[in-house]
Chains A and B, each alone.
Chain A
Amino acid sequence: DAGVIQSPRHEVTEMGQEVTLRCKPISGHDYLFWYRQTMMRGLELLIYFNNNVPIDDSGMPEDRFSAKMPNASFSTLKIQPSEPRDSAVYFCASRPGGFSGTDTQYFGPGTRLTVL
Chain B
Amino acid sequence: DQQVKQNSPSLSVQEGRISILNCDYTNSMFDYFLWYKKYPAEGPTFLISISSIKDKNEDGRFTVFLNKSAKHLSLHIVPSQPGDSAVYFCAASSILTGGGNKLTFGTGTQLKVEL
Question: Which A residues form the contact surface with B (CB < 8 A)?
Answer: 4, 31, 33, 35, 39-45, 48, 50, 55-56, 91, 93, 95, 99-100, 102-110
Contacts and interface: CB of A to CB of B under 8 A. Distances in A.
A42 B107 CA distance: 4
A18 to B, nearest CB: 24
B101 A110 contact: no
Interface stretch (B43-51, B63-71, B73-81): B43-51
A16 B34 CA distance: 37
Contacts of B41: 109-110
- A interface, by DSSP: helix, strand, loop or mixed? strand
Determine chain B's interface SS by DSSP, over half rule. mixed
B43 A4 contact: yes
Given A40-B107, A42-B105, A45-B103, A108 B89 contact: no
A103 B43 contact: no
A103 B89 contact: no
Interface residues of B, number: 27
B98 A103 contact: no
A95 B43 contact: no
Interface string B74-115: 000000000000000101010000111111111110000000
A103 B32 contact: yes
Nearest to B49: A102
17 contacts: A39-B107, A40-B107, A42-B108, A43-B89, A50-B101, A93-B43, A95-B100, A99-B100, A103-B34, A105-B46, A105-B100, A105-B103, A106-B43, A106-B45, A107-B36, A107-B43, A110-B41
Contacts of B89: 42-43
Given A103-B93, A103-B99, A105-B100, A43 B42 contact: no
A91 B106 CA distance: 15
Q: Which of B2, B36, B42, B103 has most chain A Cβ within 10 Å?
A: B103
A26 to B, nearest CB: 12
